[in-house]
Amino acid sequence: MARILGYIATSLDGYIATMDDGLDWLFAYDGLDLGKHDYRTFLERIRTVVMGRNTYDFLEKEDAPWAYGEQRVIVVTSRPISSPKGKLDVRADIDELVEELRALTDGDVWILGGGKLQMAFIERGALDEIEIYVMPELIGGGRPLFPATGVRARPRLRSAETLDRGCVRLHYTFDRKSDFATL
């Protein structure tokens, strides 16, 4: 059974992007030494990448080549993607997708990008672990790490460590449905 993982950066005030989806504040940390927690090392163990439509649209606009040629990519959207930037599949039903992902046996799954999709998996008790990289930046508003949905969760802290340039890595696990409640 595949593990479903989060790996995401946030500002100190809890935002993953500015209101206009800007990431300049985060790109200022390019070259950050994360040691054994480096993104490239994390990506080596990922077989399936799941992203929402907003994340896909952001990546599609970038001049960089498609970064996920080695992974199966699934975009969660109800709108068709006419000319995909890379090889990908589209799913609209998250409940069915969770079942599909749990049945995988060829590697871990990464929920890439936005807080909305992360929360959709958290709401369903379907996120096993999350690594949050807190950057020492206050950006004053934007897209929240965890949008308010009325779901309460009690993840367990596995580790916390200070990394390069004031970045703090928080690693949490979730115990499936027992850690979740709806307000």
**What is the pLDDT at residue 180?**
53
**Residue 150 gets which letter from DSSP?**
S
**What is the pLDDT at residue 176?**
64
Neighbours of 168 (CB within 10 A): 14
Is 74 in contact with 104 (CB distance < 8 Å)? no
Radius of gyration of the chain (CA): 16
Tokens of 164: 């390069």
Domain boundaries, the chain: 4-182
Residue pLDDT tens, the chain, 183 long: 899 999 999 999 999 999 999 999 999 999 999 999 999 999 999 999 999 999 999 999 999 999 999 999 999 999 999 999 999 999 999 999 999 999 999 999 999 988 999 999 999 999 999 999 999 999 999 999 999 999 999 999 999 999 999 999 999 999 865 555 555
Fold of 4-182: Dihydrofolate Reductase, subunit A (3.40.430)
Instruction: Give the span between the Cα atoms of 71 and 83, in whole angstroms.
Output: 19
**What is the pLDDT at residue 94?**
97
**What is the pLDDT at residue 53?**
95
Question: For residues 80, 90, 11 and 62, what is the CA-based torsion angle, rounded to 10 degrees?
Answer: -60
Instruction: Give the span between the Cα atoms of 44 and 94, in whole angstroms.
Output: 25
**What is the pLDDT at residue 175?**
83
